[in-house]
Amino acid sequence: MKKIGVLTSGGDSPGMNAAIRAVVRKAIYHGLEVYGINYGYTGLITGDMRKLELGSVGDIIHRGGTILYTARCDEFKTEEGRQKALDELNRYGIEGLIVIGGDGSFRGAANLTKKGFPCIGIPGTIDNDIPGTDFTIGFNTALNTVIDAIDKIRDTATSHERTYVIETMGRNAGDLALWAGLAGGAESIIIPEVDYNMDEIVGRIIRGHERGKKHSIIIVAEGVGSGIELSKKIQEATKLETRATVLGYIQRGGKPTAIDRMLASRFGAKAVELLLEGKAGRMVGIERNQIVDHDIIVALSGVHKIDEDVYKLSQELSI
Ligand code: F6P
């Protein structure tokens, strides 16, 4: 293998740039040429790509977003779109592709591999919802962003003696809400993976208020429903002033933490190694702090699970 491509696809996440840098530098270290494809699979179809040199990925390890831009591409879901992408890859003489993104992006990589083109997936999403890895690139940074927001909201919640409902992203997964809720000391954490009991949440807020607590923080994952609607119901039931904050896209941006830069660097290097070993249709991951790889099908057919111990602990500490 002499020439490989790299792209980012789906929702961006902090640390994607560090992963691109690792792919490019590791590949050049091993004598490969690397092409960066712009706008994910859309750029693959339109042939929007350029050669990346060592300098192309200088000064990006600390930047959020992705220098390759990203997109969600419907055309690539069609056979015709995938054939156009293959034609472009062949035209450029690219022999292997590294895809940085979430499960939708992995599905694309699996389909290309099925057509005989070797692809490797690197999990990059703030949602931390990819089976086959304990962590995804960007989760740690987003988690710190949410905790920073919780700390700030707690200040004003105390001053005004209010309850705050904070809605986090995560699509259908509750990891971001769960970890942020535990690390941020929330009273209740509501996630899609576990049924919640409104009476219990209300009871906990009222009991806290009666023993002189100045605020209550409730974290709700977007996959459960609207934080604004929930805050209205809580105010009605507790008769305590309640406000909602939807954190939204600030969770997707910002400087990646050291942990995300490390993860991205390790994932990027491993992905190049796999292509050099002649592997295809694999995803990289981290399990118990060891870099691993699995059939990409693991990410697509497995079910994301929350860490039960973390959930149990969050319950025990928020009595
Ligand atoms: O997958 C990352 C994510 O930010 C989810 O948490 C969220 O549900 C979704 O992307 C938002 O997608 P879009 O950028 O298309 O609005």
Task: Classify domain 3-138+256-301 by CATH architecture.
Answer: 3-Layer(aba) Sandwich (3.40)
pLDDT value, residue 217: 97
CB 126 near ligand 1, within 6 Å: yes
Q: d(Cα 173, Cα 221) in Å, to the nearest integer?
A: 8
Quickly state the pLDDT bin for 302 (edges 50, 70, 90): confident
For residue 186, is pLDDT > 80?
yes
Q: Which residues of the chain are in CATH 3.40.50.460 domains?
A: 140-253
Quickly state the pLDDT bin for 36 (edges 50, 70, 90): very high
CB 127 near ligand 1, within 6 Å: yes
For residue 212, is pLDDT > 80?
yes
**Residues 49 and 295: beta-carbon distance below 8 Å:** no
Q: The tokens of 174 are what?
A: 């509750």
Of 16, 70, 175, 252, the residue with max ligand 1 atoms within 8 A of its CB, to mutate for a pocket test, comes to: 252
**Residues 94 and 3: beta-carbon distance below 8 Å:** yes
Pick from 240, 266, 244: nearest CA to 124: 266
Q: d(Cα 156, Cα 88) in Å, to the nearest integer?
A: 54
Catalytically annotated residue among 59, 74, 103, 127: 127
| Cα distances (Å, whole numbers) of residue 11 to 65, 156, 183, 223, 262 | 9, 31, 24, 16, 20
For ligand 1, the distance from its centroid to the CA atom of residue 151, given in whole angstroms, is 24
**To which residue do tokens 């999990």 refer?**
123
In sequence order, what are the beta bridge partners of 77?
none
For ligand 1, the distance from its centroid to the CA atom of residue 257, given in whole angstroms, is 20
Q: d(Cα 251, Cα 148) in Å, to the nearest integer?
A: 11
Q: d(Cα 137, Cα 141) in Å, to the nearest integer?
A: 8
Neighbouring C-beta atoms of residue 246, cutoff 10 Å: 14
Tens-digit pLDDT profile for residues 110-153: 999 999 999 999 999 999 999 999 999 999 999 999 999 999 99
pLDDT value, residue 319: 77
**To which residue do tokens 């000064």 refer?**
59
Q: Which residues of the chain are in CATH 3.40.50.450 domains?
A: 3-138+256-301
DSSP state of 72: -
**What is the CATH number that goes with domain 140-253?**
3.40.50.460
- Determine the atom of ligand 1 nearest the C-alpha atom of 171: 8
Tens-digit pLDDT profile for residues 11-20: 999 999 999 9
Burial readout 286-315 (b: 16 or more C-beta within 10 A, e: otherwise): beeeebebbebebbbeeebebeeebbeebe
The 3-class secondary structure across 227-247, one letter per residue, is: HHHHHHHHHHHHCCCEEEEEC
127 part of the active site: yes
Q: Classify residue 281 by burial, with Cβ atoms within 10 Å: 0-12, 13-18, 19+.
A: buried
Quickly state the pLDDT bin for 154 (edges 50, 70, 90): very high
How many Cα neighbours within 13 Å face the side chain of 32? Answer: 24
CB 137 near ligand 1, within 6 Å: no
Pick from 302, 307, 282: nearest CA to 292: 282
**To which residue do tokens 């860490």 refer?**
307
For ligand 1, the distance from its centroid to the CA atom of residue 280, given in whole angstroms, is 28
CB 105 near ligand 1, within 6 Å: no
Tens-digit pLDDT profile for residues 275-299: 999 999 999 999 999 999 999 999 9
pLDDT value, residue 174: 98
For residue 177, is pLDDT > 80?
yes
